[in-house]
Amino acid sequence: MKKIILTILFLSCATFTCAQNLNVFNEVTNLKPEQIQSIEDYKNNCTQKVQTNWKKSNIKHDDVIIKITFKTVQDGTIQDLNVEVPSKYEQNNNAAIKAIQDAVPFEGFPTDLNAKYAEHTIFFPCRRYAQITPFSGN
């Protein structure tokens, strides 16, 4: 139940240029408000690092929002990077991957959660005049 509530919380907060959904998988039974705030701070830090790199990208405009998933582990490295929704232009896909890879290492996620890893889903808009609205699902 806690994981479901945590997932809903993060899915409702994805409103960035590189909108991000983040699920932290842990063994904590009762999340305290300060733990939730720690997760939000971690998510915002990761998003900001990736977003800075994406803004520097030279992309071709098409009508897609690239969706990439990956995991971070406690030391800030990434695993299981996967382009789930690609652009038709390989240049755009490579730019999105590079934006993530150049952000590594991320800060370690909050240790008080006893988390094994955090799953990230990041969306990269490729539209010329992208108006980003919150994403409500994966």
What domain count does the chain have? 1
pTM: 0.71
φ, ψ for residue 42, nearest 5 deg: -65, -45
Gap between the terminal Cα atoms of the chain: 19
Q: Are 126 and 21 in contact (CB under 8 A)?
A: no
What's the pLDDT score for residue 24? 57
Indicate whether 132 belongs to any domain. no
Indicate whether 55 belongs to any domain. yes
Structure tokens at 25: 């998988």
Indicate whether 80 belongs to any domain. yes
Query: Of 49, 99, 104, whose CA–CA distance to 76 is shortest?
Result: 104
Task: Residue 101: give its domain's CATH number.
Answer: 3.30.1150
What's the pLDDT score for residue 129? 55
Residue 28, domain extent: 2-125
Q: Are 26 and 64 in contact (CB under 8 A)?
A: no
Indicate whether 137 belongs to any domain. no
Residuewise pLDDT in 10s, the chain (138 residues): 444 444 333 333 332 334 555 565 544 456 778 878 888 888 888 888 998 888 877 888 888 899 999 999 888 999 999 999 999 999 999 999 999 999 999 988 777 777 788 888 999 988 765 444 444 444
What's the pLDDT score for residue 136? 42
What's the pLDDT score for residue 5? 40
Indicate whether 134 belongs to any domain. no
Indicate whether 64 belongs to any domain. yes
Structure tokens at 24: 């932290």
φ, ψ for residue 27, nearest 5 deg: -115, 20
Indicate whether 138 belongs to any domain. no
Indicate whether 136 belongs to any domain. no
